[in-house]
Amino acid sequence: MLENLFPIGSEVFAKVNPDLKLTIRHYLKRIYYCTVNNNPSQKDLVYYERELVPVPVK
């Protein structure tokens, strides 16, 4: 069984803020630690899997 849906390095959106593109930096105990793509010096944002949506492939 696959434990996490999004591998490290995947680009995602948060459901609460779909305009902000995030990159998965770390996954630990069912929690995703994400960095903001345009501002990597900002603190990590933390989400559960159900709160994230994958970036559509073009």
* 27-45 tens-digit pLDDT: 999 999 999 998 989 999 9
Question: For residue 50, is pLDDT > 80?
Answer: yes
Residue 57's pLDDT band (boundaries 50, 70, 90)? Answer: confident
Tell whether the torsion through CA atoms of 6, 21, 14 and 25 is positive or negative: positive
Residue 55, both tokens: 């970036």
